[in-house]
Amino acid sequence: MTARLTHRLMLSSAAPIAAVVIAVVLSSIVLLISGSNPLAAYADMVGHASKLETQVDILNRATPLYLSGVAAAIGFRMNLFNIGVEGQYLLAFIVSAHLGAQVELPAVLHIAFILVVAMAVGGAFSGAAGVLKVTRGVNEVISTIMLNAVVISGLSAWWIVEWQAGGEISATGGRVGTEPIADSGILPNINSWLELFTREIGLGKKLTGMLVIAVAVGIVYHVMLNRTVFGFDLRASGANPTASHVGGVSPKRMVVIAMALSGAVAGLVGMTELMNTGYYPSNPISLLGFTGIAVALLGRNNPAGVAVAALIFAFLDVSSGILQISGAASREIVEIMKGVIILTAVIAYEVVRRIREREEAAAAAAAMATSPAAAL
Amino acid sequence: MTLAIELTGITKRFPGVVANDDINLAVAEGEIHAICGENGAGKSTLMKILYGMQPPDSGTIKIHGEAVELHSPAQAIDLGIGMVHQHFMLADQLTVLENVILGAEPMRSFGRIDFDAGREHLDEVGRAYGLDINADDLVETLEIGERQRVEIIKVLYRGAKILILDEPTAVLVPQEVDELFRNIRELKASGATILFIDHKLDEVLEIADTITVLRQGQTVGTVKPEDVTAHDLAEMMIGSELPVPDAGASTVTSEVALAVDGLRVIGEGDRAVVDDVSLSVHRGEIVGIAGVEGNGQAELVNAIIGLDDPDEGTITLLGREITRFSVRSRREMGLGYVPQDRHRDGLLLGFTLWENSALGHQTEGPYSRGPWLSRAGMRDRASRIKADFDVRTPNIEVSAHALSGGNQQKLILGREMVAGPAVLIANHPTRGIDVGAQAAVWDDIREARAQGLATLLVSADLEELIGLSDTIVVMLRGRLVASLDPNEITPRDLGAYMTGAALEAEAP
Ligand SMILES: Nc1ncnc2c1ncn2[C@@H]1O[C@H](COP(=O)(O)OP(=O)(O)OP(=O)(O)O)[C@@H](O)[C@H]1O
Ligand SMILES: [Mg+2]
């Protein structure tokens, strides 16, 4: 039994591992062609990543990527392509930063308030695309792209100007952004948790408390999907909307709810940065939404898979920082690696699926040979 | 006489099942060859192997005397083999023409599709075989009978000379079956070889030149229709007598369970597809709806289930008006539903059998408790359905697509019956089920009827309609045009009512 379990685990991890290996091989070729030494570059990256401080950075990067990946995955489960995670998290970020700075609340409530506002804004914004889809038949890809454009270029710029006029934005102390949130609204870092296992974290690095929230979101997502009636409805409706409708699941309702949920999780993506700096800056960390789509794809929309994918991407992003200093290779090589990983993963998953099917059939045939009576 | 097809020693295994076990089959050129056998006997699997969809584990295939190895349907098509599947494979969002030419597009320069040439060829094929269809209709809007015609045209369009039809008559009413058989004979006259699967033995005896019977993946025998009776065939298939539907003593009560009053549904082009329909079904009663496909039965059923809102009229379930209720609340009130198209409306093909056995009832015990699913409850019910409804499967962990067509149908029926509905809408409930299992299903429905189940039965099988129903209403162009006593009507007469011929004769 355990042997079979390990075999199954190996099969399911075979695809992502194969994807990473192929990506390493291909990028080595690219590096060789461009005249760099791939081994030196990888050694630099791995060496850098073995430092505790770098690992903190990787986790801090993986946290928003994971949330963004889960947001995309919720949509994918319903065959919805929420390409608007990008706009949703930036809008949620700016609104919750603004409102969070306006209120005075005791610590826990203040933090909860900010997170709830972020989720509500993301959810409403994304839910709107869902409503457009079911009432007007607007494809969610189109509507979320448009809404992205509105947020990314329009709203943010407009609000920043507004707030500047109101004196809310100051450039003092090198800070350009919304008014800072009081300490009571800032989720504390969890350095002490990590330090339990290792030494003290140096260089002023802080491990984001949002990591805990992200893990919680992953668990809730898993339980919701697999253990609740709602999750059954969601999976069923995504797999066969007409049969599910006959089975009492309104496809329109599910589209709106799935979009809203996806947006609500998206709303949390920007919170890692907000809880670190305390304000919405003029140049927030962006592109997390688009990367999340790739993370969801690599992680097969499943909570644990998305976590692994987020960690892989975060590792590549962060550890490649050393290349700029060491000069072993161009840092952009990791972008090539990410692309190759996604492409090969898609192919590798299909190959593994076929292998598994064939194995099942062979196992059945073997079982049959020993006990023909078990045919039916 | 040369052999068009010669299969020798074909074996095919699936997890837990030997679907084909050393099967031999010889089909002469230009003959109509029927394949019979109980659900899960391996008929579809054998046909899929012949069509290159699934590789056999062992065995050889000879086409026109030449040994071939088929790896894909494309190869089979090149050899002049075409197949119409048990479950249609059409793209809903495309037109008839687009579906027909899909994968065999006539090309103009620069890779543009030549739709005119396609249309011309399509019309030619349609005329040659008397298959009438509008090339520009969206497949989504077609009734099942019309979809089948599209599937057949699609195969002929590709120049098939060996035609495989998997349960082509399951969806048709007698008049349509006659027409299909006329087409088949015409095809044969023009030199085609036809292989078809059918559960209705009298049809098989009428049209086939040769009959091969399968049982549990093995060939039981090959016979000529003139040498056997339907009883002999049934015995070869299931080892027992041919069952006949029989309602038994009436159990109709005076209590109305389902009432439809003045229902109108407006379809495309402002035409009423359901036109002022009123009917009631009492506890313990089975009301049969007869009609040629596309006369508003589907829309009527959709309105009762809650998939579409009617434009006028009311629906009352167990004394409560439910005209605007959601599908879910209707189901929770005790409305059971066996849909017509099991793949589109009844199953989650990629999900396990135990998940499928909860679909439509997932908000109720034992499938769930409050917001939480109960996997134990789901598995428990699934095992019960498997046992009580004789769903042939190695276990309930396999996904629904691994079941044979008839066994999928039994799973759906079982799911709706074990939920203990107060009202059951059964749309072609025994479609694709073998004669043995059919009898069991009829027994189940009768038993539930005795316990007070109200059933609205829509069926293309007129024997079943007449045999089971307490009352039969005929639906024609959206209206209920006649209410008949099943004890006093023959299938032929009923067919005449369905096409409107009887009404014209009656009119002064
Ligand atoms: N893809 C599959 N995976 C696993 N098992 C399968 C698969 N396809 C068919 N089977 C099994 O093979 C057996 C034969 O199935 P097949 O579909 O050929 O039956 P059939 O004779 O066409 O029955 P029916 O009259 O119900 O359509 C069944 O037991 C079925 O469960
Ligand atoms: Mg079949």
DSSP readout, B111-176?
G-B-HHHHHHHHHHHHHHTT----TTSBGGG--HHHHHHHHHHHHHHTT-SEEEEESTTTT--HHH
Cβ B339–A250 below 8 Å, yes or no? no
Q: Is the pLDDT of residue A209 over 60?
A: yes
Residues B423, B237: Cα–Cα separation, whole Å: 33
Domain-embedded: residue B244: no
Find the ligand nearest to B39 CA. Answer: 1
Shared domain check, B129 and B277: no
What pLDDT score does B422 carry? 93
Chain B interface mutation, best of A78, A226, A235, A240, highest count of B Cβ atoms under 10 Å: A240
Number of folded domains in chain A? 1
Q: Is the pLDDT of residue A171 over 70?
A: no
pLDDT band at B321 (very low <50, low <70, confident <90, very high): very high
Shared domain check, B278 and B173: no
Percent of chain B with pLDDT over 70: 95
Q: Is the pLDDT of residue A362 over 80?
A: no
Q: Which of A7-21, A90-104, B58-72, B237-251 shows the lowest mean pLDDT across its residues?
A: B237-251
Domain-embedded: residue B469: yes
Of the partner residues B326, B345, B373, the one whose CB lies closest to the CB of residue A242: B345
Q: How far is CA A34 from CA A22, A28, A30, A120, A323, in A?
A: 18, 10, 6, 48, 15
Residues B70, B79: Cα–Cα separation, whole Å: 10
The pLDDT tens digits of the residues spanning B459-492 come to: 888 888 998 999 999 999 899 998 999 988 888 8
Shared domain check, B324 and B234: no
B87 lines ligand 1 (CB under 6 A): no
B436 lines ligand 1 (CB under 6 A): no
Relative to beta strand B335-338, strand B320-321 is unpaired
Percent of chain B with pLDDT over 90: 42
Q: How far out from the chain centre does Cα B371 lie?
A: 35
Alpha helix (H) residue ranges in B209-362 = 230-238, 297-305, 327-332, 353-356
Dihedral (C-alpha) B47, B50, B55, B57: value to the nearest 10 degrees? 80
Residues B57, B9: Cα–Cα separation, whole Å: 10
Shared domain check, B231 and B276: no
Number of folded domains in chain B? 2
Residues A307, A296: Cα–Cα separation, whole Å: 9
Residues A134, A131: Cα–Cα separation, whole Å: 5
SS3 label, residue A209 = coil
Q: How far out from the chain centre does Cα A107 lie?
A: 27
Shared domain check, B89 and B129: yes
Q: Which residues, including other chains, have CB under 8 Å from residue A376's CB and lie 6 or more apart?
A: B17, B40, B216, B392, B394
CB A56 within 8 A of CB A247: no
Ligand 1 pocket, mutate which of B404, B411, B434, B438 (most atoms under 8 A from CB): B404
Shared domain check, B350 and B216: no
- Among candidate residues B208, B238, B268, the one where a domain is terminated: B238
Chain A within 8 Å of B360 (Cβ-Cβ)? yes
Shared domain check, B275 and B229: no
Dihedral pair phi/psi, residue B39, rounded to 5°: -65, 130
pLDDT band at B125 (very low <50, low <70, confident <90, very high): confident
Domain-embedded: residue A319: no
Cβ B17–A376 below 8 Å, yes or no? yes
Residue from B358, B334, B335 nearest B346 by CA: B358
| Window A:220-259, CB contacts with B under 8 Å | 226-233, 235-236, 239-240, 242-250
Domain-embedded: residue A43: no
Residues forming beta bridges with residue B427, ordered by sequence position: B458
Shared domain check, B309 and B170: no
For tokens 């090339």, the residue is B135
pLDDT band at A122 (very low <50, low <70, confident <90, very high): very high
Q: Which residues, including other chains, have CB under 8 Å from residue B333's CB and lie 6 or more apart?
A: B317, B318, B320, B322, B325, B422
Residue B69 Cα to ligand 2 midpoint, Å, equals 23
pTM of the model: 0.85
Domain-embedded: residue A89: yes
The pLDDT tens digits of the residues spanning B268-311 come to: 778 889 999 999 999 999 999 998 877 899 999 999 999 999 99
Residue B198 Cα to ligand 2 midpoint, Å, equals 9
What pLDDT score does B302 carry? 94
Domain-embedded: residue A327: no
- Among candidate residues B177, B209, B238, the one where a domain is terminated: B238
Residues A309, A330: Cα–Cα separation, whole Å: 23
Residues A138, A145: Cα–Cα separation, whole Å: 12
Shared domain check, B195 and B56: yes
Of residues B353 and B1, more confidence is placed in B353
Dihedral pair phi/psi, residue A270, rounded to 5°: -75, -10
pLDDT band at A159 (very low <50, low <70, confident <90, very high): low
> What is the arithmetic mean of pLDDT over B22-45?
92
Q: Residue B90's domain is classified under what CATH number?
A: 3.40.50.300
Shared domain check, B324 and B199: no
Shared domain check, B268 and B339: yes
* Owning domain of residue B409: 256-506
Percent of chain A with pLDDT over 90: 30
Q: Whose CA is nearest to atom 29 of ligand 1?
A: B40
Residues B383, A247: Cα–Cα separation, whole Å: 20
pLDDT band at A113 (very low <50, low <70, confident <90, very high): very high
A208 CA: distance to closest CA in chain B (Å): 32
> What is the arithmetic mean of pLDDT over A70-80?
92
String of DSSP letters for A317-331: HHHTHHHHHH-SS-T
Q: Whose CA is nearest to atom 31 of ligand 1?
A: B403
- Among candidate residues B182, B211, B238, the one where a domain is terminated: B238
Domain-embedded: residue A100: yes
Domain-embedded: residue B245: no
What pLDDT score does A197 carry? 79
Q: Is the pLDDT of residue B447 over 60?
A: yes
Residues A28, A36: Cα–Cα separation, whole Å: 9
Tokens of A336: 């090539």
What pLDDT score does A376 carry? 36
What pLDDT score does A375 carry? 36
> What is the arithmetic mean of pLDDT over B411-437?
90
Cβ B394–A233 below 8 Å, yes or no? no
CB B497 within 8 A of CB B484: yes
Shared domain check, B227 and B263: no
Q: Is the pLDDT of residue B228 over 70?
A: yes
Q: Is B323 left (phi over 0), alpha (psi -120 to 50) or beta?
A: alpha
> What is the arithmetic mean of pLDDT over A342-349?
81
Domain-embedded: residue A77: yes
Residues B105, B114: Cα–Cα separation, whole Å: 7
The pLDDT tens digits of the residues spanning A220-243 come to: 999 999 999 999 999 999 999 999
> What is the arithmetic mean of pLDDT over B89-116?
77
Domain-embedded: residue B399: yes
The pLDDT tens digits of the residues spanning A299-313 come to: 888 898 899 999 999
Cβ A368–B368 below 8 Å, yes or no? no
Q: Which residues, including other chains, have CB under 8 Å from residue A217's CB and lie 6 or more apart?
A: A66, A67, A70, A265, A268
Tokens of A358: 């064939």
Q: How far is CA A186 from CA A106, A183, A214, A277, A285, in A?
A: 11, 5, 16, 9, 18
Domain-embedded: residue A260: yes
What pLDDT score does A206 carry? 83
CB B25 within 8 A of CB B212: yes
Domain-embedded: residue B188: yes
The pLDDT tens digits of the residues spanning A101-112 come to: 888 888 889 899
Q: Is the pLDDT of residue B404 over 60?
A: yes
The per-type count for chain B, helices as H runs and strands as E runs, is: 17, 22
Q: Is the peptide bond before A64 cis (omega within 30 degrees of 0)?
A: no
| Window A:54-73, CB contacts with B under 8 Å | none
String of DSSP letters for A161-180: HHHHHTT--B-GGG--BSPP
Domain-embedded: residue A7: no
